[in-house]
Amino acid sequence: MQWTSDISTGEWLRGLLDDPWNASMHSVVPHGYPAYARILHPGAVRSLPDQAVPSPEDWVRLPLAEQNRLIALFHDEPATWASTAAAFGTEVHPLAQWQRLVRTPVDGDWRTRIAPDGREFTAPMEGELAPEVVAAVARHLVAHTTTPDAGAAALWEGFGGLLGHLGHTPSRAFLTFDDTSTEDPHHQAMLDRSIHDPLNNAFRKPTWQEGILSREVSEGPRLEFLDRAYVLFEASAREFSSPDWVLDAPWRDLPGEEHGFPPSAQSPNILWPEDRAWVMVSEIDFDSTVVAGSAELVEALCADPALEALPLREGAELGWDADDVNR
């Protein structure tokens, strides 16, 4: 995988997309493929035991073993849409929408809902798939292209910390805790400076603020469709077929690792092979990924027990009001 400034390799998609205000999925998913599959991003579920949650003051007084026991009780586990629907008495279907699935009332918070059985369900991530799910999908993609070792991956430019920029503030900040910081004689001076910085920034010359990607990439050309802009990489389906693909991704979050976070990399928002046999789209506002390709590919994706995938018809609508079954 490597960055490319040749955005012309993705221009062929432009003519296959609808106007952004079109209600169908084809604002982001190309027309013209024999079949489509919708891969549902997993949610999360947490059991809520009949036990009061300790206050922060009480928590610090608990023995470590008791803290670990309580943490285990409130552990999140992946939740399929089917298991979520079963908990709320709703139905999974190709146009299902999460907020309908969890019976969200008008003006209610659909991201976290308590089921009748007392479990807490959290909505899926939007615009990304876990590395192991990407790998499961990619193994099918490899088998349904004549160019499994050549293609392209596009990453939305707006992910936090991805790109560097000219400015006064870092691309992102890492929160650290230090109980001794208040005893540091330089700590108050640092705070005093930070109070004045917003005024000083107005007169300070902007400097380059590093992101995950280099300055060359950050300032390079973008592949633009409608109201989205992407950084383009040469990449193949085979390179994503192992969960360890994050270790080789040029956009691997190395700054995060330096602050103690495990290796990670955003999943591609658009992926296609050189022969254009299929296109995988993880739109940033969708809680599902759509694959356009052959009928055989869609059948294989929907039959894979490692995935929760459903066939879609061309022209399908995936907006908030598309779920007429669970109203």
* 207-249 pLDDT, tens digit each: 757 778 888 888 889 999 878 899 999 999 999 999 999 999 9
Q: Around 126, how many Cα atoms within 13 Å sit in the side-chain half-sphere? A: 9
Mean pLDDT of 172-177: 53
Mean pLDDT of 77-96: 94
What local confidence, expressed as pLDDT, does residue 268 receive? Answer: 94
Q: Which of 52-66, 110-124, 170-184 has the highest mean pLDDT?
A: 110-124
What local confidence, expressed as pLDDT, does residue 313 receive? Answer: 94
Helix, strand, or coil (residue 112): strand
Q: Around 49, how many Cα atoms within 13 Å sit in the side-chain half-sphere? A: 12
Phi, psi of 14 (to 5 degrees): -55, -45
**CA 140/CA 301 separation, integer angstroms:** 7
Print burial letters for 82-118: b (CB count within 10 Å at least 16), e (below 16): ebbbebbebebebbbbbbbbbebeeeeebeebebeee
What local confidence, expressed as pLDDT, does residue 181 receive? Answer: 46
What H or E segment, with its residue span, contains residue 295?
Answer: helix 295-303
Mean pLDDT of 66-76: 67
111, 40, 96, 104: which is closest to 287 by C-alpha?
40
**CA 227/CA 206 separation, integer angstroms:** 27
The model carries a pTM of 0.82
Q: What does the mean pLDDT of the chain come to?
A: 84
What local confidence, expressed as pLDDT, does residue 175 receive? Answer: 54
- Integer angstrom CA distances of residue 8 from 5, 63, 71, 162, 298: 9, 60, 50, 22, 28
With beta carbons less than 8 A apart as the criterion, state whether 17 and 289 touch: no
Q: Which of 92-106, 183-197, 208-222 has the highest mean pLDDT?
A: 92-106
The proportion of the chain whose per-residue pLDDT surpasses 90, expressed as a percent, equals 50
